[in-house]
Amino acid sequence: KSRLTNHVKTLRFLSQEMTQSELGEKVGLTRQTIAAIEIGKYSPSLESAFRIADALGRPLEEVFQWEG
């Protein structure tokens, strides 16, 4: 089964231990949405994925991966 995986939680901690709330504020999402993305319960829109990668200072493909 194909699925989207991510390293949001790890990269948040490497980015001055940014909280879910702080990341959410930077990208226009709620803390709950960031939490759901981190555990793979929710796939962000393409725009949100780019915003998250930008906020974490990483290229999109370093933050999100498609496992087919």
Residues 6+ apart with CB under 8 A from 12: 18, 19, 20, 23, 56
Hey, is 6 helix, strand or coil?
A: strand
Residues 6+ apart with CB under 8 A from 44: 29, 33, 37, 52
pTM over 0.85: yes
The pLDDT tens digits for 19-63 are 999 999 999 999 999 999 999 999 999 999 999 999 999 999 999
Largest CA distance in the chain: 34
**In this structure, what DSSP letter does residue 61 have?**
H
**In this structure, what DSSP letter does residue 41 have?**
S
